[in-house]
Structure 1
Amino acid sequence: MLIRTEAPADLLAIDRLLKNTFPTEAEANLVMKLRENGHLTLSLVACTDEGEVIAHVMFSPVTLDGQDYNWQGLAPLVVKEEYRNQGIGSDLVKEGFESLAMFGYPACVVLGDPNYYGRLGFVAAEQHQMRCQWEVPEGAFQVKALVDGEFSEREGTIEYCAEFLEL
């Protein structure tokens, strides 16, 4: 398996993977709109040795109370069904964290399963007096500092790019 940044030749495979995995086309449309509007910070794919795209993760900008601290939102993360439970999604996210930190993006947020994302170092946003712009179950909105001390003296509402409002 190879993890790399997406290439133009991957766009149709990513779109197909999203449409075949999620119950609606909302995630596929979101990814396309983020890409088209320049709100894609990092997009990674996992490929088989034969070059088939089997997983994808995207990171896009978020703000804290309207301030841009270069924080990123992880969404979506998708792994082709027959490749799940092999650590591929975790590997993609960890590779994303390394790249984001290397390029000066100090934190990441996610809205998702606390059991899954907790294994990747995310903690409930409430622990840092932060919250999602939407009403979500307690613990579902999570944060991870990629740089020590990033959450010191920061609190408030985290907002995603406008494209997320169209879901």
Structure 2
Amino acid sequence: MLIRVEIPVDAPGIDSLLRGAFGRGAEADLVHRLREDGLLTLGVVATDEEGGVVGYAAFSPVWIGGEDCQWVGLAPLAVEDAFRRQGIAGQLICEGLDMLNEFGYRAVVVLGDPGYYSRFGFIPAARSRLHCRWPGAEAAFQLFPLADDALEGVSGQVEYADPFNQLAL
């Protein structure tokens, strides 16, 4: 198993993985649009021995009250069924967080299971007076500060890139 930054040749494998993992095309279309619009900050893949994509994590920019605070959102995250429960998703998350930290990003947000993401240090965004546009998502909307002062002077609505507005949650 190799965890690395995605390269152009991975795109078809990522597309196929996302369509299979989510049982629909919305997430694959989302990643395609983010890539096309130059809004894919980081893509991390897990590949098998033959180089096939078996896991993927995408990170794209988010804004707080319309301001670029050097934050990103983690979505989508997927692992092929045959490779689940092996820690691959966790490896993708950790590798992504490490890379983003090295690149100077200040925080990461995610909309997901608090029980799962808290294992990696994500905390409820509501504690910092931050929320997303999707009603009823308060418990699932979480953040991971990469910089010590990432939360200073920020509050309000975290806005994802426009392609997320077309995604049905």
Residue 116 (structure 1) aligns with: 116
Q: State TM-score, norm by structure 2.
A: 0.96
Q: 5+ residue gaps in structure 2?
A: none
- Partner Cα separation in structure 1 for residue 161 and residue 29 of structure 2: 14
The alignment status of 1:45 with 2:42, answered yes or no, reads no
Quote the offset at 1:48 in angstroms. 1.3
Distance between the aligned counterparts of 1:109 and 1:137, measured in 2?
Answer: 12
Count how many residue pairs are aligned between Structure 1 and Structure 2: 167
State the partner residue of 1:155: 155
Q: Distance in 1 between matches of 2:109 and 2:33?
A: 20
Q: How is 1:1-167 mapped onto 2 (pairs within 5 angstroms)?
A: 1-167=1-167
Secondary structure of 1:46's aligned partner: strand
Cα distance in structure 2, aligned partners of 1:137 and 1:13:
30
Tell me the SS of whatever aligns to 1:134.
coil
1:136-167 Cα distance to aligned partner (Å, 9 max, x none): 33310001101112102321110000010111
- Residue 12 of structure 1 aligns to a residue whose secondary structure is helix
After superposition, give the CA deviation of every residue in 1:26-80 in whole Å (9 maximum; x if it has no partner): 0000000000000000001001122121100000000001110110000000000
In structure 2, what is the Cα distance between the partners aligned to 1:3 and 1:71?
22
Name the SS for the 1:147 alignment partner.
coil
How far does the alpha carbon of each residue in 1:89-117 deviate from its partner, in whole angstroms, 9 at most, with x for none? 01011000010010111100000111111
Superposition TM-score, scaled by structure 1 size: 0.97
Mapped partners of 1:32, 1:158: distance in 2: 22
Q: Which moved more, 1:137-146 or 1:54-63?
A: 137-146
- Checking the alignment, whether the CA contact within 8 Å between 2:131 and 2:141 is kept in structure 1 is yes
Structure 1 residue 121 displacement after superposition = 0.9
In the TM superposition, structure 1's runs of 4+ consecutive aligned residues that sit over 4 Å from their partners are: none
Can you give the 5+ residue segments of structure 1 that lack an aligned partner in the other structure?
A: none
C-alpha displacement of 1:134:
1.7
Given that 2:21 and 2:78 are in contact with CA atoms closer than 8 Å, whether structure 1 keeps it comes out as: yes
